[in-house]
Each structure stands twice: as C-alpha cells, then as structure tokens.
Amino acid sequence: MGAFSALSSPKFCFNRHSFTLPNQPATKQQIFHRRFNQRKRISITCSALNSFGANLPPLVVVGSANADIYVEIDRLPKEGETVSAKTGQTLAGGKGANQAVCGAKLEYPTYFLGQVGDDAHGKLIIDALEGGGVFVDYLNVVTDAPTGHAVVMLQSDGQNSIIIVGGANMACWPENLDLEVLKNAGVVLLQREIPDSVNIRVAKAARTANVPVILDAGGADAPFPDELLHYIDILSPNESELARITDMSTDSFEQISQAVDSCHKMGVKQVLVKLGSKGSALFTEGEAPIRQSIVPAAKVVDTTGAGDTFTAAFAVALVQGQSKQECLKFAATAAALCVQVKGAIPSMPDRVSVMRLLQAHFGIAV
C-alpha cells in the first residue's frame, strides 16, 4: 500500500446515504426546526458515526452561498460595449457552499453554516447542498435580504471574471451565532464572502475549541483585520490575493516567498499559496516551502471553483492525518478534475475519481 493508503482506504466507514437529509427541498420552517434541534442532531450523528467504527470530527465550512448566473462569451466587453452571450444559466455556488459540497463529495462528513434568502435562489442552493451530501442543520433562511448571487462571465478558454452581490451572505447575521458544531469539528474553513466580524467570531470559537482554521483569502478585497489573522492557522491566497494582502509583488517565486514572510510577521504560521498553472506551495514558518506542480487536466472547461476545490480537498486530507506533501497532491488532483466541468458545485469531484487520477498521475498504489 502506498503513501495514500489512508486516503484510499479511509480510517472510517462513512455512508452519506445513511445520513442524507430528506430529498424534498427544505422549507424555511424545516430549517428553523433543525436549528432548534441542533444539539440532539449532533449527538445522533456522533452515535451513528460511532456505529460505523469511528467518531469523525467533521469538516465545518462557514461562508457564502450564491446563485451563480453564468454567461458564456467569446471575450470580455470593452468599456461602453455590449456583447451577446452564447448561453446563460443559473447554478448553485459561492465559495462556502462550493467547499462544503467538495468536502462531502470526497466522502467526509461536512457541515455548512451560512445564510440564504427566502427565495428561489435560496431553494436552488439548499437543494444543491443536500444533494451533495452536506449537513445543513446550521443554514439560516433570512427574510430581510435576498440570496447572494454572482455574475460569472465565462470565456471560451475556460477563464472567468466574476461580479458578486453579497445579499444574505453579508446581512442579517444573528448576534448570538450558534457555533455549537465547532466543538466537535476537525477543521474549520472560512472565506471572505461573509462579514469579517463573523469570521472573527468563528475563528475565536475554533481556537477556544482547539480546532484548526483555514482561511481562503478569496472574496472581499478590503484589508485583513489583524484580529482575524491572529486566530487562523493556515491562510490560503492565490498570487493576486497575496499581493493585495501584503502590498508586495508576487511575479516570481522569490517575490512570493518574500510576501509570505510578511504574512508570517502578521502572525500567520502557515500560508498555502495557489499558483494557478504553476501549481501550489505550502509555506510553514521556519521550514522550507513545499511545492506542488499542477495535475494536467484533459481539458479546461471552466476554472470557477477550482480554488475552492483545492482548499477543501487539502482540508479533507489534512483532517485525515495525511502529510503536507500528500495533502498538496490530493488537492491538486481534485482541482484538475474540477476544471473539466462547467459550474462550481456541479464540478466538485467525487472521491473515487480523485483516487483514480491520483494513481494514474503519481503512480502511487492506492
């Protein structure tokens, strides 16, 4: 058995179908009912997992959920220009929802904590989360704001430009946010498509519970609050986000390393940098960086959600006890599958597909 034995033969027997929530779309009342019974549900879930031979600490994703409005175009319009789209459709997405579905499709128990509006887009997202096997006990339906949405301008080469409307992601968060689920978590994933104040509250609670926090830097381009950086364990930006955080150039690996040093000085011990076609690198303070090249995709259809797939897959491998290098390989493999399918949530790969490509590309017996 190769280095990925724990990934190919997990230390647990988890059958999502045993815990899948009802197939019918969740109503606002049903979701509120779930929230009133959270503690009971957590106890039942832990007992059920124990019956399969393991008490797994779940992946908890706190973040955004959007309706992604896709328009396929040959090129971006110039200033003052109108262009026609080839096609248009609306799919479920948002960095938080993407990462949650990715975790669940990689066969790891995953909770999503976020907000949607009481509207058709909210129903679309709930259906997608439940269909992906995500526990939505902590998903709020709000009546004072619409579901967040994004306009995704997808070009013929698979590259995209995105405009986000925050909606419920940025409004109406309760003062007394129920974070009970964090106490039993294995890792927490955050992004910047929800208010920094919410991320800080979650990160503080996770630190109190000794649960590691990974913050995906994607989302708001506002300065990072020092308090937020103090409570995260791994910061995961891409090159442009790293440049914005540090106000430094990131055109070369040497410059990226210098920018990461600046992050270390801000209090972040580990920085996981997504480098696009150049792969990725994990920087741990006081250690040599670990670099990982991309896993080539058979075709690139849509890069939307690739970064979310990478971060979530890394988190799943990490919570399963894999080495840092193995986590990077697993994440790169998952991202390579993601870009071959249009849409964010629809493109999240399943575990079997990831393991097959992992074996084919790295030649590892799994």
Q: Which of 21-35, 101-115, 154-168, 169-183 has the highest mean pLDDT?
A: 101-115
HEC per residue, 286-340: CCCCEEECCCCCCCCCCCCCHHHHHHHHHHHHHHCCCCHHHHHHHHHHHHHHHCC
The one-letter amino acid at 62: V
Quick check: 3 pLDDT over 70?
Answer: no
Positions annotated as catalytic residues are 308
pLDDT for position 191: 96
Query: How deeply is 155 buried, as exposed, middle or buried, from its count of CB atoms within 10 A (0-12, 13-18, 19+)?
Result: middle
Under 8 Å between Cβ of 344 and 307: no
Considering only residues 50 and 291, tell me which one the structure prediction assigns the higher pLDDT: 291
Mean pLDDT of 219-229: 88
pLDDT class for 366, splitting at 50, 70, 90?
Answer: low
SS3 139: strand
pLDDT for position 48: 36
Distances (CA, A) of 192 to 167, 236, 347: 14, 11, 21
Residue-wise burial string across 245-254, b where 16 or more C-beta atoms lie within 10 A, e elsewhere: bbebebeeee
Closest to 308 measured CA to CA, from 144, 206, 160: 160
Per-residue pLDDT reduced to its tens digit, 328-357: 999 999 999 999 998 888 899 999 999 999
The one-letter amino acid at 23: N
